[in-house]
Structure 1
Amino acid sequence: MLTLGIESSCDETAVALVDGGRLLGERIASQVDVHALFGGVVPEIASREHLRVLPGLFEDLLRETGVSVDDIEAVAVARGPGLLGSLLVGVSFAKGLALSTGARLVGVNHLWAHLLAAGLERELHFPALGLLVSGGHTHTYLIRSDCEFELLGRTLDDAAGEAFDKVAKVLNFPYPGGRWIDNLASEAEPDKKMFPRAFIDNPSLDFSFSGLKTAVANHVAAHPELVMSEMADASLLEHVVGPRREQLAEMCASFNWSVADTLRIKVERALKQAGKVESLIVAGGVAANSMIRSFMTELAAKQGIELTLPGLGLCTDNGAMIAHAGERFAEAGYAHDLDLEAIPRGRVVPLDWHGPDSVCRR
C-alpha cells in the first residue's frame, strides 16, 4: 500500500513514501542549527519552521520518486506525543491531503513508530520487549504484534535523552549534546561510583533520571574547569587536551555508564515480567549511543534472544518510520476520520481509530 509518512513532532520535518514495506524515498529538514543558538528546542520557532518547509519537502519527494499525489493510498502522520504546535502542522497537512485525494488517514503514535522502524530493514519477531529511549521518553513495552503494545514502564520525570541534553547544556556542549558526551566517553573508563544509577532500588519498571542529572550538575559545579568558556563546537572540543580532557572524558564515561546500566537493570526486570519473548527491540534517538547499544547487545545474548537495533538513520525522528507504521496499521484495517487530534506530550495517545478492535489494543 503506497503510504506517505509525515513527521513533525519536534524539530525535524520529514516526509517519506513506503510501499509494501520498501522505502521509496525520504526528505528531511533539520532545525538543529536554528535551536542550537538557544541550547534547546524553542516550540514556537519549531512550529513555524515546520510550516515553512513541509510543502516544499512534499513536492521534492513526489518529484524525486516520480509518484503522483493521486497514487497515494494512505497518509500517515505523527499525531503525538510531541510539541502541540509542531504536531498540528503535520496533522493539518495530512488532513488536507486525505480530504483532497480520498486517501486513508492514519494517525500514528510517534513512540510506536520508533519501535517499528527497524521493520524497514529486517523482519521483526514478536512477541518482543521494546525499549524506547528518546529525548522525551524512556519506556518499555511488551509488543505482541505491529499494533499491540502494552506499556510496562515509563518516564516519571526526565527521560534519558533529556538528561543527556541537560548535562551537555551544563557543560556548554553543542546542541544536541548526547553525541559529544558519547564521543568523549569512548576515551576513558567510567568511574562506576561517580554518579548514582537512578531509581533502581525498588521493583518498579518506571524510569527517573532527574536525580542523576542533579548529581552531574553538582559535580560540574564543584569542578568548574570542566565547563566550556563559550558554547562549544566540534573544533573547540578537539582543542581540549591534556588532564582537562582526561577529566572531562572520565566524567562523560561515568555518566554514560550510569544511564546505560540503569537501562540494563530495568530491561532485565521487564524481560522477567513479560515472560517469553522472541526479541528485544531498542529504538529512539538515544539508541544511537554506543554504550547503550553495547549493553543491550550483551543483555540480549545473555537472555538468548534476538536483538533488533535500527540503523543510526532510523534512530532519530524521521518520516520513514511514520510511513512504515502507518502502512502496517492501514493494512490491518485501521483509519481515522478528519476529527483526528494532535496529542501533546503528557497525554496518552488514544486508540480512537476505526478498525478491528480485537487486533489492536494498548
Structure 2
Amino acid sequence: MLCLGIESSCDETALALVEDGRLLDAVLASQVDMHALFGGVVPELASREHYRYMGPLYDALMSRNARTASELDVVAVSRGPGLLGSLLVGVAFAKGLALGVGARLVGVNHLHAHLLAAGLEQELSFPALGLLVSGGHTHLYRMDGPDAFVTLGRTLDDAAGEAFDKAGKLMGLAYPAGKLMDELASRGDAEAVSFPRPYVHNDTLDFSFSGLKTAAAAFLDSLPEERRWPRPVRSAEGAPRTLCDCCAAYTQAVVDTLLIKTGRALDRHPDLKTLVLAGGVAANSHLRRQAEALMRRRGGRLVTPSPKLCTDNAAMVAYAGWRLAATGGHHDLSLEAVPRGRPLPDDLRHGPACRTA
C-alpha cells in the first residue's frame, strides 16, 4: 500500500511516500530563514509559501521515485492542530488529489503523528506513554494503539518549545533558539543559576511554563552590565560563561519539569513500560539522555525518533496515514482543517482495510 503524506501545519511544506510501513522518500521546503526576519512565524506568509511550494514539491517527489498519481492508495494529510491558513493549503491539495485518482483520504492528527513517527525506525509496541514536546504543544498521552490516544496532561499556557524560544529571544539567541540553546547548555553549569521547576507542586499531569520564562527574564534583568553579552548570539563558539550557565540551568529546569510529570504518569499507569518521546524538543540532547536514564531506572524502554523525524515532517504523516488506512480508517471530502486551540473531532470512518502488500 502506497501512501502519500502531506504536512503544512506551520512553516514547513513537506511531502513523503511510505509504502507498506517503509519510508521511500521525502521532500521539504523550509521557511525558517524568511520567518527569522520577524523573530517568529508570520501565519499569512506561511500560507502563501505553502501554496507556492506544494505543487512543485509533489511533482519532484513523484518524478524522482518514478511513481504516478494513479499508484497512490492513500493520501494522508495533517488536518490539525496548526495554523488554519497553512492547514487549509495541505487539506485542499490532499482532497483534490484523492478525489482525482480515487485514493483513500486520511486526515491525520499532527500530534499523534509525531508520536507514531518512531515506528518508521524501530518497533513501536502498545500500550505506551507518549510525551509530545514541541514548539506549540506539550502533552502526555496514554497510547493503546495507533488510533487510541487518551490525553493525560497538557500545558496550560506556553509549550516547552515555546518556552525555549521565548527565553532564547530574551537571551539574544538567533531564531530558532532551540538547537543553539542545547549547544550552549552543554558548555554551562546548570547549578550556577537557580530557576524554578514550575507547576510541579500539585497532583496533576498538566504543565505550565509561563512562570519559568518570567524567571528567566528577571534573572537577565538583574545581571550587572559587566556580565552581559553582545547580541545577537549566532554560535556557541566563544560564548561567555554566564550565557552558557544560564542556558544550562534553564534547560535543566524544563527537562526536570517534563520528567517529574512523566514519572508521575508512569506511577499512575504501572502497566506502561514504554515511553515514546517525540516532537521538536525531543531532539534536545539533555532531554533524550535523561529520559532514557529515567526509563532505565524503572526497568522500561525509551522509544524516540531520530532528530530528523522529531521536527515537523511528512514522513510521520505518511506513516500515520498508512497505519490508519491499513485498518480501514478514512475520511470523506467533508474533512475539516482544525486550528490550534480547537479539539480534533473523532470522525475517522472505518471500512474495508486497504491492501497492505
Length-normalised TM-score, structure 2: 0.95
1:43 matched to which residue of 2? 43
> How much does 1:273 deviate?
1.4
> How much does 1:53 deviate?
0.6
Give the SS at the match of 1:149.
Answer: strand
2:339 matched to which residue of 1? 344
Deviations 1:13-64 (A, max 9, x none): 1000000110111001111100111111111111111111111110000011
> How much does 1:146 deviate?
1.3
Deviations 1:186-243 (A, max 9, x none): 0122027611001000011000000001100111112275665443323xx5343xxx
CA distance in 2, matches of 1:89, 1:69: 19
1:70 matched to which residue of 2? 70
1:233 matched to which residue of 2? 234
**In the alignment, is residue 91 of structure 1 matched against residue 91 of structure 2?**
yes
Aligned pair count reads 350
Give the SS at the match of 2:4.
Answer: strand
Identical amino acids, percent of aligned pairs: 56
CA distance in 2, matches of 1:227, 1:84: 40
1:2 matched to which residue of 2? 2
Match among 280, 287, 295 for residue 285 of structure 1: 280
CA distance in 1, matches of 2:76, 2:33: 27
1:276 counterpart letter in structure 2: D
Length-normalised TM-score, structure 1: 0.94
**Residues 173 and 228 of structure 1 are in contact (CA less than 8 Å); yes or no, is this contact kept in structure 2?**
no
CA distance in 2, matches of 1:126, 1:305: 13
Residue pairs, 1:103-114, within 5 angstroms? 103-114=103-114
Question: Mean Cα displacement is larger for which, 346-355 or 197-206?
Answer: 346-355
2:211 counterpart letter in structure 1: G
> How much does 1:282 deviate?
0.1
- Residue 79 to residue 17, structure 1, CA distance change in 2 (3 Å): same
Give the SS at the match of 2:330.
Answer: coil
- Residue 52 to residue 148, structure 1, CA distance change in 2 (3 Å): same
Deviations 1:75-131 (A, max 9, x none): 000000000010000000000101111100000000000000010001101110000
Give the SS at the match of 2:288.
Answer: helix
**In the alignment, is residue 204 of structure 1 matched against residue 204 of structure 2?**
yes
**Residues 105 and 337 of structure 1 are in contact (CA less than 8 Å); yes or no, is this contact kept in structure 2?**
yes
Residue pairs, 1:130-145, within 5 angstroms? 130-145=130-145
2:267 matched to which residue of 1? 272
**Residues 133 and 278 of structure 2 are in contact (CA less than 8 Å); yes or no, is this contact kept in structure 1?**
yes
1:56 matched to which residue of 2? 56
Q: Any stretches of 5+ residues in structure 2 without a counterpart?
A: 352-357
2:354 matched to which residue of 1? none
- Structure 1 runs (4+) deviating above 3 angstroms are 224-232
CA distance in 2, matches of 1:28, 1:233: 24
**In the alignment, is residue 325 of structure 1 matched against residue 320 of structure 2?**
yes
2:216 matched to which residue of 1? 216
1:128 matched to which residue of 2? 128
RMSD: 1.3
1:116 matched to which residue of 2? 116
1:335 matched to which residue of 2? 330
- Residue 224 to residue 143, structure 1, CA distance change in 2 (3 Å): farther
Residue pairs, 1:245-264, within 5 angstroms? 245-264=240-259
**Residues 10 and 82 of structure 1 are in contact (CA less than 8 Å); yes or no, is this contact kept in structure 2?**
yes
**Residues 193 and 245 of structure 2 are in contact (CA less than 8 Å); yes or no, is this contact kept in structure 1?**
no
CA distance in 2, matches of 1:238, 1:270: 39
Q: Any stretches of 5+ residues in structure 1 without a counterpart?
A: 357-362
1:165 matched to which residue of 2? 165
Give the SS at the match of 2:345.
Answer: coil
**In the alignment, is residue 294 of structure 1 matched against residue 285 of structure 2?**
no
Deviations 1:120-162 (A, max 9, x none): 0011011100000000010000101111101000110000000
- Residue 227 to residue 336, structure 1, CA distance change in 2 (3 Å): farther
Deviations 1:323-359 (A, max 9, x none): 0000000111111111110000001111112117xxx
